[in-house]
Structure 1
Amino acid sequence: MQVRLFPDAGQEAALRDTLHLCNEAANVVSVEAYRARVFGKQALQRLTYGWLKAMGLSAQPAIHVARKVAGAYATLKATIRAGSLGEPGSKRRRKAETKPIRFRRDAAQPFDDRCLSWQLADRTVSIWTVAGRLNRVRFGCSEQQYATLAAHRRGESDLVHRDGKWFLYATCDIPDVEVKQPDGFLGVDLGIANIATTNDGTRHSGKGLNRVRHRSQRLRAKLQRIGTKSAKRLLKARRRKEARFAADTNHCIAKQIVTEAERTGRGIALENLRGIRDRVRLRRPQRVTLHSWAFHQLGRFVAYKATRSGVALVHVDPAYTSQGCSACGHIAKANRPNQSTFRCTSCGFAEHADVNAARNIATRGVADWAAVSLPNAA
């Protein structure tokens, strides 16, 4: 849960100094961890705790700094293992493996309940800083966020400084809702022309999102060519605008999909599109659109909203869903003469191409759910 902090001038200076010191200490720990090849949380804490205390950190912040560094190396290891940084010997992977991890001066810093306490009734927090304990730092949030914080906040919160604003990312532990046995599945085809299409025929067009992205690309290129201070200032001010717009669009689409599935008692079937950027070969003008397409974010939004609503969710193999006929099962490239048209060359069935693909996904969702929930049936 993200809440906005409203520190006064003195509190803001103390928070900034705290982040800078914590991340300076994290860089020291990172260099030592890389030199000694010690990356475990407990081992790294034992190795560097004395240095961190000598730099001015209290006991709990020193522990969190060491754990933050250990977590960063664990994430790097997992990223390399997953192949996200390329093959062994590639330039990107070699760059990541041959030097210590560096932390920005304003990188987020975790605080536990010993360093940070919430006074929800007063909408204030008390937080440890290098200048001492800060009391009554105001925060703001919506009524829905406040209710979630009051009922479910647990564990650590991250202090974040972004674009001149201060935030706390509070961890909320919300109990799982029991997944209801679905009566069929709502198939969802993800795409570029249409961001999401369901087998009911609902299409969420991607024209608006793509128009905003193309306009942002042109504006970025123009400002980068100009290169003046005011142009750079405008670039900095706009850098997250497109991402916020895309996230809002994906939230709205995900909410509509989950609400419809919950209303009709169905589960949701999504394509498993992991690795699509490596599999798909496109012409150069289309690559930018594919690589800026936030389908993974939309899938995550659908997944967590479905989990909170108790709606069953399955990810199915997307192979040939756009070429296969949802009426007779015939698969052929000729079945799809263009982006929006599907016309089966075997049985003559015709439908919008994305709706046909969504129907195939819904059918695979039923089969995959049966295989998981009734593995020994028949």
Structure 2
Amino acid sequence: MDRTLVLQLTPTHEQATLLQQTLQEHTACFNAVADEGFTTKCSNGVELHKRTYYDLRLQDPNMPAQLVCAAHVKATEAVKSALDRVKKGRKARAPRSRVCPIRYDQRSYWVKWETLTTSLATVQGRVQLSFTVPKYAEKYLGGKICSADLCYRKGKYTLHVVVRLPDPARPSSDEMIGVDLGLTHPAVTSKHLFLGERRWKEQERRIFRLKRQLQTKNTKSAKRHLKKLSGKRFRQRKDHDHVLSKRIVQHAPPGSTIVLENLTHIRSRARIRKGEGQRRLHSWSFAQFHSFLSYKAQEKGVAVVKVDPRHTSQTCSCCGHQARNNRRSQSLFLCRMCGFSLNADLNASRNIRNKYVVSLASLGTPLAGGSVSDGLSSHASA
């Protein structure tokens, strides 16, 4: 498994000036390749390398060849993303960066944990820097060093080092936990756990209202206040996702399986009119939450899988009857066939779990957590 450690660099004034110059020239390479790729609609890395590499080397002979190649790779990734947006009929322009992080590989940097020092390639040769290791990362020291990204933000230099560690032993367990994600209840598990805080929603509303008021005023003091609020909502949502994923993993025993809905493209499928519901849907960070949950679960020896989310909210987890009017409201599920009543999100989490169990049975895998009822079997074949 891979883990990313954020190391705080402590350069001297001369070293900081050198790092800043290297970042500026690397950013210029990135922008040049991105402009060429987007203008000519070319997202092939080899072709872009042939078109721009030698010109960039002539323009900036001090730039190490490895860093020029790293800028090509990053620019190619950005161009592919921009051209994909154009193909989907969405607005896009040539990718451009003010300070593009430098991606180092094993030939352009090294790290020594014993002395807490690192060596980075720059426009004036190698420079050796000291760094500090955060407390959470101490348990990952000693792993195999992979790539690293040099980032600069708000006057601070950080090195994001990828460390490869052996996968933990995963004990065998038949327990499966279905998790229903939502905007009203952040997460509801099939073990009857309602996770998340009610205050999270009001915190996001408060920031939105404050930013809207400041944008309406448009005064100098309002702009200064908006600058202070920059990124606060993102950091807040990131903290919520960390807390939520940690709580789910804490309630999952080692060897168990966490089953989630595959929510890809949900924004284009959902039918929500304009207003708070649409705003919250488009700011829903379910992909970030899944990445947090995956790496936390992997460290504990828990598997994370996804299933098709269709009809999980309309199906009765007791008899398997599916109907749109089974769900009477956001919180109430009442089956029209058997009269089974349950919280709608809890019912959906049980359906998510059962859906994965049925998929295992269809593949001939021994069913975990008991047998599936006849109703669920008929629902799976329908």
Measured against the shorter chain, the TM-score band is: 0.7 to 0.9
Note closer, same or farther for the CA distance 1:34–1:239 as it changes in structure 2 (3 Å cut): closer
Select between 208-217 and 33-42 the one with higher mean Cα deviation: 33-42
Select between 207-216 and 24-33 the one with higher mean Cα deviation: 24-33
Which residue identity does 1:65 align to in structure 2?
Answer: A
Which residue identity does 2:78 align to in structure 1?
Answer: A
* CA-based RMSD: 2.5
Query: 1:369 matched to which residue of 2?
Result: 360
1:250 equivalenced with 2:254 (yes/no)? no
User: What is the CA deviation profile of residues 104-152 of structure 1, one whole-angstrom value per residue up to 9, with x for unaligned ones?
Assistant: 12121112233322132222222222244322x2322323313324213
Map of 1:290-369 to 2, 5 A cutoff? 290-369=281-360
1:63 equivalenced with 2:69 (yes/no)? yes
Determine if contact 1:323/1:335 at 8 Å carries over to the other structure. yes
Which residue identity does 1:25 align to in structure 2?
Answer: C
What is the deviation of 1:165? 2.4
Which residue identity does 1:272 align to in structure 2?
Answer: N
Map of 1:46-57 to 2, 5 A cutoff? 46-54=50-58, 55=60, 56-57=62-63
Determine if contact 2:79/2:95 at 8 Å carries over to the other structure. no
Note closer, same or farther for the CA distance 1:352–1:243 as it changes in structure 2 (3 Å cut): same
What is the deviation of 1:337? 2.1
Pick aligned residue for 1:226 from 195, 217, 241: 217
Query: 2:371 matched to which residue of 1?
Result: none
Query: 1:138 matched to which residue of 2?
Result: 130
1:113 equivalenced with 2:106 (yes/no)? yes
Pick aligned residue for 2:259 from 269, 274, 282: 269
Percent identity (aligned): 34
Determine if contact 2:334/2:341 at 8 Å carries over to the other structure. yes
Determine if contact 1:268/1:365 at 8 Å carries over to the other structure. no
Q: Distance in 2 between matches of 1:319 and 1:313?
A: 19
Identify unmatched segments of 5+ residues in structure 2: 367-382
1:150 equivalenced with 2:142 (yes/no)? yes
What is the deviation of 1:271? 0.9
3-state DSSP of counterpart to 1:319: coil
Determine if contact 1:60/1:115 at 8 Å carries over to the other structure. yes
Query: 2:24 matched to which residue of 1?
Result: 20
Determine if contact 2:144/2:163 at 8 Å carries over to the other structure. yes
Determine if contact 1:123/1:139 at 8 Å carries over to the other structure. yes
3-state DSSP of counterpart to 2:251: helix
Determine if contact 2:196/2:244 at 8 Å carries over to the other structure. no
Determine if contact 1:178/1:310 at 8 Å carries over to the other structure. yes
Identify unmatched segments of 5+ residues in structure 1: none
Map of 1:119-268 to 2, 5 A cutoff? 119-135=112-128, 137-154=129-146, 156-177=147-168, 180-205=171-196, 207-263=198-254, 265-268=255-258
1:8 equivalenced with 2:12 (yes/no)? yes
Q: Distance in 2 between matches of 1:300 and 1:71?
A: 20
Which residue identity does 2:11 align to in structure 1?
Answer: P
1:30 equivalenced with 2:34 (yes/no)? yes
3-state DSSP of counterpart to 1:23: helix
Q: Distance in 2 between matches of 1:261 and 1:315?
A: 16
Select between 188-197 and 126-135 the one with higher mean Cα deviation: 126-135
Select between 4-13 and 321-330 the one with higher mean Cα deviation: 4-13
Query: 2:45 matched to which residue of 1?
Result: 41
3-state DSSP of counterpart to 2:120: strand
Which residue identity does 1:205 align to in structure 2?
Answer: G
Which residue identity does 1:284 align to in structure 2?
Answer: K
3-state DSSP of counterpart to 2:338: coil
Determine if contact 1:314/1:368 at 8 Å carries over to the other structure. no
Q: Distance in 2 between matches of 1:249 and 1:194?
A: 13
Q: Distance in 1 between matches of 2:193 and 2:363?
A: 28
| Paired residues, number | 359
Determine if contact 1:193/1:205 at 8 Å carries over to the other structure. no
Q: Distance in 1 between matches of 2:47 and 2:86?
A: 29
Q: Which has the higher helix share?
A: 1
3-state DSSP of counterpart to 1:53: helix
Q: Distance in 2 between matches of 1:58 and 1:368?
A: 52
What is the deviation of 1:238? 2.1
What is the deviation of 1:177? 4.2
